[in-house]
Structure 1
Amino acid sequence: MPYGSVHLPWTAPTASGPIRAVIRLPGSKSMTARALVLAALSLGASTLRAPLRARDIELMAGGLRAMGTHVSTVDDNLWLLRSRPLRGPARIDVETAGTVMRFLPAVAGLADGEVTFDGDPRVRSRPMAPLIGALCALGVRIDATGGTLPMTVRGIGRVRGGTVTIDASASSQLVSGLLLAATEFDRGVVVRHVGPPVPKPHIALTVHMLRAAGAGVDDSRPDVWAVEPGRLTGRAWDIEPDLSGAVPFLAAAMVTGGAVTIEGWPPATGQPAGHLLGVLRRMGGEPALTPRGLVMRGSGGVHGLTADLSGVTEATPVLAALAAVADAPSHLYGVGLGPDRIAALVTGLTALGADVTGDADGLRIRPRPLRGATFRTHDDHRLAHAAAVIGLTVGDVRLDDVACTAKTLPGFPRLWSTMVQGGNGGTGGTD
């Protein structure tokens, strides 16, 4: 059953003292999604070790299967993909998965036949016009009304490719979606971003994984990415833990003055770990990399700060929750959430008593005593994480829906409650 089909109210557990726990997180959603697409476009077989099994990833795998790719997920810890000629007709339901909506249309352009995309009514308001325009300029035929879903890609088995200009300020996934499929374009692709700054960490991850798969990529010029045409070869992908999914657990150590270890934290990674830990350190966290993983210790207080979050936009809701219990005001900018999600975060934190104002791309948070109340998650797993963090020190924080956390971590309620109650957490059952 889709994660958003049933809402599950949940009262966030309150910690009775410093939290001390060891957490094993599932695989990175960002890496798993990209590895799936690259495997589908590679010659031969590919494997994904320790992938994320969560709703967004199931939808990505389902979309690739619909176009003919063999995707075996029978073994939770080792998935097998074999590329096959992409074909239509196919129908792909993205539900609310932005990665599926933005990564697979370029792949569909390579299919022989029609591929129709649609999803939850909420995603029909998300801007697709920049991606649609870019794909059309590269030679893909697309039928869409108003630049949103639903849309139909009329593939002919090949894409001309070439140079294209796009405003990707709405989401860096618009760039990644073009780059991931570009080795299969006749001329490859040169993507030029024009417009407001776009967060780069996830594009950098895309480039890193393309190169690992054998692609020639040039990202030496600001806001320009070039991928050469060529064939990728199947390979074994080892999926790292989801470091963005670790943020609420690291925050738990900070707000309670405890210590949380994230097992398997990689010493070197394409995920934006350095920027994230830098922000948490400035807020009072004491991170240390050990042979077992990353240990975050709370210093006994959370500090307010002014910070650019353009490199760690997924962490914005939890960082805002930390700012709401800090010892001084905070200004968080470059949050990259979009007006609707900013408004939802402001409304949710305000309901708990926080003094928060939002603008086009930022939040100003002035700490004051918080209270228990119902926090509306708006089917956003990151908002649910933020409410859970505040609930550690504020009683009776009620989430109207915690089932939305299945988008990236289906076992979140159990894992979180076990951690608060003093046990060590296992893999979240899933990114």
Structure 2
Amino acid sequence: MGNQQHVAIIGGGLAGAKSAEELRAKGFEGAISIFAAEDHLPYERPPFSKDYLQSKSEFADALVHDGQWYQEHEISVHQNTRVVSIDPEAKTLATEAGEIVGWDKLILATGSAARRLPLPGTDASNVYYLRTVEDSTNIRSHFGKGKNLVIIGGGWIGLEVAAAARAAETNVTILEGAAAPLLNVLGPENAAVFAKLHTDHGVNLRTGVKITELAVEGSAATGVMLAGGEVVPADAVVIGIGVAPEVQLAESAGLDVENGVLVDAALRTSNPEIFAVGDIANQAHPVLGHRVRVEHWATALNQPAAVAASITGQPTEYTELPYFFSDQYDLGMEYIGNAPNGSYDKIVVRGDAGSLEFLAFWVSAEGRVLAGMNVNVWDVVDDVKSLILSGRSVDAAKLADPSVPLGEL
């Protein structure tokens, strides 16, 4: 691609910033523009449910790059600029302010939006969803001794917020509709580990509950009402019931959309000039052999390198396995692979889950390892990854035996 080429990137998160960075690293000399809906330079989101939420880090620490870096690399960042439409035929995009911008290649990195809870009272002033730095700052302002925080949803975000709030001695209640937190993600055995972790740290974990509305006085919520009439008192409420991919732009541009934006192994959409990265990319994964969409930091970090390679003339498939991590209290965990409900036969545990130092493996009926999770056990991800990629059947007894090195399975 020559100097006259322009790559437009829609999305001001980690995936957008890394796309620009990787294009320059791979020698692209044309114009690069990032369109960021928020009035910030692109930033990473994990700190806002972790260190920033616990006042252990500053917002500047979450920036992918500072302003000077973008200047030095001749990358235009249009902050507070929402793109409202794409015209694939004319190769233009339109901003909310009415500006029309031409492009030669387009990268969609629009990310996800928090799923809204459609119940009365959820629009109260002290009810929050966690997606932005401002959300995190607002939630943090309700932490402290004697304050009651109610979290609706026992997923990763809900549990990480609970851990941060308890570190500040906040009274925390988690309301979860399922029988255990993370049940669909981790299965009952591992879900029980996380449930106990939180109750051991003083969280009032309520599972199997049905919420009917939020009690509101004036403009503020005062509690969460359960079916049956009980009201759980709250000084603030955080709703964490998952996210939905931001696909409206792609859909209106005529791209193929289904549970995200459909992309091939090289992250190219149904329009060969448009790519999608991060949360929105529903990829035909060349290693897993099926489609997968991953809403985690590592995907936003790593996918842009493959896209930048393809744009600069080296068609490249994205082959990394899904990966995510979480930190809660004194528990640190990593998960690699892909084992959705119904895909695995059993979960094999190596070590003692009760001691919070163990590995868990999701194993198919044929004995293949589909995914692995390490809890407070480090430097094993590469070995677990090798097991998954090998595709071979593994003896479950050896898999569970800590004396058998993973590399020998």
Q: What's the TM-score once normalised by structure 2's chain length? A: 0.30
Q: Which has the larger radius of gyration?
A: 2
Q: What's the TM-score once normalised by structure 1's chain length? A: 0.29
**Which is richer in helix?**
1
